Structure 1
Amino acid sequence: MPEPPWPGRRPGDDVDERRAENARSGAMVGAMQSIGQTGRVADANRSRHAREVEGIMAAARVLVGVSAQSVAAIEDTVTLPQLRILVMVASRGPLNLGAVAAGLRVHPSNATRAVERLVVAGLLSRDDDPADRRNLQLRLTDAGRDLVATVMDSRRAAIAGILERMPARRRRTLAAALRSFADAGDEVSEDIVWSVGWTTTDG
């Protein structure tokens, strides 16, 4: 004989409770699955981002090597600090000694000695500033321009050689991707770029 229901309960209440419990369990399982899927997506995004960063790091090491080789090729002519002055003047045009010292973040006396060596070597000229006779303007001589061009052309040739070894389909998309990367990083100050012997002009 069936047991009498508890006071206040109706026949079928047990069935309704089981259904409600099953619904709650199903919702919990669904929520856990959703959380797990979200976690897997987040992990995949982090993994992809890490691979992208490491890819750029590997490319940067290659470019550092290209830069180092171009500087080594002229080390019998100028030192890296002297090359920094040349690329600064090449990028900015005529500069006075104070601007050179500020760009190099050195004391003016140190800049004076470096500039003097470049003038003696025939790579810089030192002329009166028409706007202020108390200042001297530093300009690249033809030999100075040729030296900076030699360094930059050496880098372009090395990069072109690397591109030639890449599959053509990858090479077609690389330039646009790197230009976008360069635009995103344009907050890098000019003096940092000069410090490693790069001009800040596209020519």
Structure 2
Amino acid sequence: MNAQNVEMQDVNAALIAADVMMGVAARSVAEVEDIVTSPQLRVLVTIATRGSQNLGEIAAELGVHASNATRTSEKLVHAGLIARAEDPADRRFVRLTLTPQGAALVDQVIEHRRAALAEVLAAMEPEERARAAEGFRAFARAAGGRHGDDGRFTLMRPVLSGDA
């Protein structure tokens, strides 16, 4: 089946569900906006989901010049949310990792999202919830299991080896 054969009502249903999930993500960002800015949260989630990063990788992720990535990262270092260390493979580079405080902030955002989604799912009848969960799994499979690492929208944090 191609995209032209998909019923518009099915697309609209997916858009409505996506809008609800985006609202959940937006509320969790608002919960920490007195601590970090949206770009800073994006840096934290990038490190949380991909492991330690260098400044070039952060600049590429944010789509900014390296000097902007440096300033953003410096603010996070001074806030105690990330740590800076020499890259063991190339001492010209600095590796950025989450501190326990930074990991806790990311976990707080992700937990807020989990709790909000659990609340919505709990409001459903068990049979509806089971059908919705199967639909979510099928949707993720059809998309190739891809997910975003952008902290503004990421709804879960994968477990990485060497995570802070």
Question: Where on the TM-score scale, by shorter chain, does this alignment land: which range?
Answer: 0.7 to 0.9
| Cross-structure match for 1:75 | 33
The residue matched to 1:194 in structure 2 has which SS? coil
Q: 1:123 to 1:99 in 2, by over 3 A?
A: same
| CA–CA separation in structure 2 for the residues paired with 1:93 and 1:76 | 25
Q: 1:160 to 1:195 in 2, by over 3 A?
A: closer
Task: Indicate whether 1:102 and 2:41 are aligned.
Answer: no
The residue matched to 2:43 in structure 1 has which SS? helix
Q: 1:125 to 1:194 in 2, by over 3 A?
A: same
- Count of aligned pairs between the two proteins: 156
From 7, 12, 20, the counterpart of 1:62: 20
Shift of 1:50: 1.2
Q: 1:172 to 1:197 in 2, by over 3 A?
A: closer
The structure whose Rg is larger is: 1
| CA–CA separation in structure 1 for the residues paired with 2:51 and 2:39 | 18
Gap runs ≥5 in structure 2? 160-164
Report if aligned partners of 2:45, 2:106 keep a CA contact under 8 Å in 1: yes
The within-5 A match list for 1:1-203 is 49-186=7-144, 190=148, 193-194=149-150, 196-198=152-154, 201-203=157-159
| CA–CA separation in structure 2 for the residues paired with 1:169 and 1:160 | 15
Shift of 1:197: 4.4
Report if aligned partners of 1:94, 1:137 keep a CA contact under 8 Å in 2: yes
The residue matched to 2:14 in structure 1 has which SS? helix
| CA–CA separation in structure 2 for the residues paired with 1:146 and 1:159 | 20
Shift of 1:189: 7.2
CA RMSD, 1 decimal: 2.1
The residue matched to 1:89 in structure 2 has which SS? helix
Q: 1:199 to 1:59 in 2, by over 3 A?
A: closer
Per-residue CA distance 1:81-117 (angstroms, 9 max, x = gap) = 0000000000111111001111111111111110010
TM-score after normalising by structure 2? 0.87
What amino acid is aligned across from residue 108 of structure 1 in structure 2? Answer: A
Report if aligned partners of 1:80, 1:197 keep a CA contact under 8 Å in 2: no
What amino acid is aligned across from residue 24 of structure 2 in structure 1? Answer: V
| CA–CA separation in structure 1 for the residues paired with 2:152 and 2:89 | 31
TM-score after normalising by structure 1? 0.71
Shift of 1:51: 1.2
Gap runs ≥5 in structure 1? 1-44
Q: What percentage of residue pairs aligned between the two structures are identical?
A: 44
